[in-house]
Amino acid sequence: MQHAIGHGHSQGADSHSHDHGHHDQESMKVLGFWIFLVTDCLLFGTLFATYVVLKAHTDGGPTGKELFEIPGFVAETFILLTSSFTSGLAVLAMNKKKVGQLIGWLIVTVLLGASFVGLEINEFVNMVHEGATISTSAFLTAFFVLVGTHGLHVSVGLVWMIALMIQLKMRGVTPVTKRKITVISLYWHFLDVVWIFLFTIVYLMGVM
């Protein structure tokens, strides 16, 4: 309960110990984000369950086996896994307080993520051209919703990561930016884990 006097009014809420009950605010935010990830897990869990129930309901339309192209989704998988790795490298750079390296690895991560989203959009467009749209059958609705939700998460992550890079540029590695980077790298790894399930349940089991 040490008390530091003299902080100005506009002082940011970094993790100094001036507080009574305001325990380490930044670590509290990370805890909150973990709980958010739990809820996101459930969100995906529900979507997975929906997909599994409706997988066979193709209503005479195309099946996964006919639609999924192995090179496409394998490439997507490798790109996303690599981006997860590079976001890990970014965190390592952050821990060494190397802002340049940190931003560099984040750029690589964003580029990989963007190419993942690009490939996915390309995949979707191809499917629509083949006549497999979201309104073709219950199976395809469930497919587009499940994979699309993941894609949307990745896209949101990209915008967020770019915003964080600008903030890093402006402020360097402070307790606040450090927490933000920790949180987004958690998010990014989480999306990677979700993709592994997608890869297995939707794509691998779809083409088998």
Residues that bind another protein (CB under 8 A): 3, 5, 7, 9-13, 18-23, 28-29, 31-32, 35-36, 38-50, 52-54, 56-59, 134-139, 141-142, 145, 159-160, 163-164, 166-167, 171, 176, 180, 194, 197, 200-201
The nearest distance, CB 88 to another protein, in angstroms, is 22
The nearest distance, CB 143 to another protein, in angstroms, is 11
Which residue lies nearer to another protein by CB, 7 or 97? 7
Which residue lies nearer to another protein by CB, 96 or 171? 171
Neighbours of 165 (CB within 10 A): 19
What are the distances in angstroms from CA 27 to CA 34, 145, 183?
A: 11, 34, 10
The nearest distance, CB 112 to another protein, in angstroms, is 22
Which residue lies nearer to another protein by CB, 10 or 71? 10
